[in-house]
Amino acid sequence: MTLISSRRNLLAIIAVLAISAGLAMLGADSASAKSEGKTIAVTGVTSVNGQSVVVHIIAAVNAGKSDQEVADAALRGVNARGLTASEYSLLANSWDQFSDGDAGNDFVVQRYNAKDEPSGARAAIDRSRATWNAADSAFAFQTAMASTGKCPSLVNECKGRQSFDGNNDIAWMPLRDQNTLGVTWSGTSTDEADVAFNTNFSWSNDKPASATDIETVALHEFGHVAGIGHSEVFGSIMEPIYAGIRRTLTDDDISALQAWYGTGGGTTPTPTPDPDPEPTATPEPTPVPGTELHIGNADYGNNDGVTYSLSGKKGRDLIITILVTDGNSAVSGASVSIETDNTDTGWSGTGSGTTNSDGELRFRIRNANSGNWSTTVLSASAGSLTCDSDCPDGPHTYVK
């Protein structure tokens, strides 16, 4: 059983706009938090062993500091640059094992290092994992969390070179940036997510909280582990602020999870074997070896190449699916880059990634505005295969 499948489903971030380092990611609602104990969220990107890694940071804004100063320092602490809004929205950041057709590996294994943990931390973290698992979605953390003495390999405060070691570790440690409460490091081309909580802060397991609530911060960070970005919905777990205890997922959080992983986790029926197979069944089409990549393929029921769907309770998420084929065969590992525009609002974003074993690559725009959307495949390649005359492909439009 494959516990951690390779997350080929991921990107290299193209746009290079380090303008307001991280502040582009700050929700407008962050200003509504009390000045005392105000906390902001910062998202950046850096690289480990040449691979892109997204870093989500929760940082406290102390008196006399601006949000920008705190965001800049938090990003410096992890050697990252800020991620722009369009880059963030077009991350193709989900775990592949939930879409590989094998229900036996549909969970994410996490490991826990109890060294220096505050009182009650393990129980609070277990509850936050259980909260995500209880949401109606195929996504799940493995119920049991293994104990380990390891320092999370992607976290830069650990000794030695940062690396992907195939484990999703959680640990408590003093973090370099004095304002950072917690941080999630998430690989973009490799399935791995490590979480660290800063022991330089006071933490609480009490209700009402006597310090920063462990379960609240863990619930938010594990949403990032699942592949969910920030939300502008007030009161949601994925709102980029800490404003006291929040231990319950909102409809917005759940719909974000469902946008990636669908509903009905754990209820996947086992196909019943046909006792009397039809002897004249139509044979599978013989794969035709080709020399050029196609974007979309009628043989795979996707002549259009780019699929838009709005999912989630309020219909704000726009999912863009790219299928790459060679003749009749899906091509995994193809590098694809796209541009998506809302021609009504002028929003524009670019993203890139690698197709999964089904030849698919999905992108998501969180809280997508209504309007006229257009997506163009800018390039696609896989080994010596290159685009045919229909590729680059587009534009494909969607009107909402």
Dihedral pair phi/psi, residue 303, rounded to 5° = -70, -25
Judged by beta carbon, residue 56 or residue 364, the one nearer Zn ion is 56
C-alpha span between 262 and 267 (Å, rounded): 12
Judged by beta carbon, residue 7 or residue 56, the one nearer Zn ion is 56
**Least CB distance to Zn ion at residue 68 (A):** 17
Judged by beta carbon, residue 56 or residue 111, the one nearer Zn ion is 56
Judged by beta carbon, residue 37 or residue 392, the one nearer Zn ion is 37
Six token digits for residue 56: 């989500």
**Least CB distance to Zn ion at residue 217 (A):** 9
Q: Site residues (CB under 5 A) for Zn ion?
A: 41, 56
The total of other beta-carbon atoms located within 10 Å of residue 204's CB is 19
Instruction: Say which residues have a Cβ less than 8 Å from residue 280's Cβ, sequence separation at least 6.
Output: none
**Least CB distance to Zn ion at residue 43 (A):** 7
Judged by beta carbon, residue 225 or residue 382, the one nearer Zn ion is 225
Judged by beta carbon, residue 41 or residue 90, the one nearer Zn ion is 41
**Least CB distance to Zn ion at residue 69 (A):** 19
Q: 151: which DSSP letter?
A: P
CB contact burial 57-87 (16+ within 10 A = b; e otherwise): bbbbbeeeeebeebbbbbbebbebbbbbbbb
Check: CB of residue 317 under 8 Å from CB of residue 368.
yes
**Least CB distance to Zn ion at residue 228 (A):** 9
Q: Which residue has the tokens 């959680």?
A: 170
CA proximity to 43, closest of 53, 55, 31, 52: 55
Q: Which residue has the tokens 């005359």?
A: 389
**Which residue's beta carbon is nearest to the bound Zn ion?**
41
**What is the sign of the dihedral through the CA atoms of 119, 120, 122 and 128?**
negative
- How distant is the alpha carbon of residue 56 from its chain centre? 11
Q: 320 forms bridges with which residues in the sheet?
A: 308, 363
**Least CB distance to Zn ion at residue 269 (A):** 35
**Least CB distance to Zn ion at residue 384 (A):** 40
Judged by beta carbon, residue 26 or residue 330, the one nearer Zn ion is 26
Judged by beta carbon, residue 152 or residue 359, the one nearer Zn ion is 152
Judged by beta carbon, residue 38 or residue 56, the one nearer Zn ion is 56
Q: 111 forms bridges with which residues in the sheet?
A: 146, 169
Judged by beta carbon, residue 76 or residue 400, the one nearer Zn ion is 76
Check: CB of residue 190 under 8 Å from CB of residue 167.
no
**Least CB distance to Zn ion at residue 54 (A):** 10
Q: Directed axis angle between helix 251-261 and helix 214-226, to 10°?
A: 30
Instruction: Say which residues have a Cβ less than 8 Å from residue 114's Cβ, sequence separation at least 6.
Output: 121, 122, 147, 172
**Least CB distance to Zn ion at residue 25 (A):** 8
Q: 215: which DSSP letter?
A: H
Dihedral pair phi/psi, residue 324, rounded to 5° = -115, 130
**Least CB distance to Zn ion at residue 321 (A):** 25
CA proximity to 339, closest of 396, 266, 292: 396
